[in-house]
Amino acid sequence: MLNREFKGFIQHLPIISDQRLAEEMMVSCMILDDSSVIRKVARRIIEDHGCRVVDAADGHEALQICRLNMPDVIVIDWIMPGMDGLEFIIEFKRLFGEHCSDTSLVYCTHKMDVPAMAKAKRAGATHFFMKPFDKQSLTKKLSEIGVNSIDKAA
């Protein structure tokens, strides 16, 4: 009797494809940069590293994406019109607080500005990355963060 009920229950479960399951297990990364070229190059590198990637051209768009689906890693440009990287981190932490504690915030800058980096760290940046970047330096940073494979459980 129990076995028949279990089989009936199983028949009503939605079928999840292997590809969808694999995508759900992939680390998600958002690229926040006002430069479409930087977003395109970073997307290609990060996808090749085995991550799902979304991108945003400004902080407001990035916050909307986070409301819908919180990424595991956010790569944040330092200087952007409207809302700069530091302002984004402050607003991100204000809006999501403890609900974003597992999200790595990678603050990208083109110069070693220690006071600005200290402000970003106090605001919640978890990692720093220097521009310009190439495939080797970006994948190395992802590995340092712990993004070593396609799967979150790895």
Q: Tens-of-pLDDT digits for all 154 residues of the chain?
A: 455 554 555 455 555 555 444 445 689 999 999 999 999 999 999 999 999 999 999 999 999 999 999 999 999 999 999 999 999 999 999 999 878 889 999 999 988 889 999 999 999 999 999 999 999 999 999 999 988 754 444 4
Question: Based on the structure, what is the number of domains in the chain?
Answer: 1
Residue 103 structural domain? 28-145
Domain membership flag for residue 36:
yes
List CB contacts of 50: < 8 A, sequence separation 6 or more.
Answer: 26, 27, 149, 150
pLDDT for the residue 111: 87
Helix (H/G/I), strand (E/B), else coil: 151: strand
Domain membership flag for residue 129:
yes
Judge residue 30's burial from the number of C-beta atoms within 10 Å of its C-beta, 0-12 exposed, 13-18 middle, 19 or more buried: buried
Domain membership flag for residue 15:
no
Domain membership flag for residue 90:
yes
pLDDT for the residue 1: 47
- CATH number of the domain that residue 78 is part of: 3.40.50.2300
Domain membership flag for residue 19:
no
Both tokens of 104, joined, read: 């790595």
Q: In this structure, is the dihedral angle defined by the CA atoms of residues 47, 92, 120 and 59, taken in order, positive or negative?
A: positive
| Host H or E run for residue 96 | helix 85-96
Name the one residue in this structure whose structure tokens are 């080797």: 136
pLDDT for the residue 76: 98
Closest-CA residue to 106 (of 81, 140, 136)? 140
Domain membership flag for residue 120:
yes
Q: Please give the Cα distance from 38 to 141 (Å, whole number).
A: 16
Domain membership flag for residue 3:
no
pTM metric for this prediction? 0.81
Domain membership flag for residue 12:
no
pLDDT for the residue 57: 97
8 Å CB contact between 39 and 65: no
8 Å CB contact between 52 and 31: no
pLDDT for the residue 146: 87
Both tokens of 74, joined, read: 């956010």
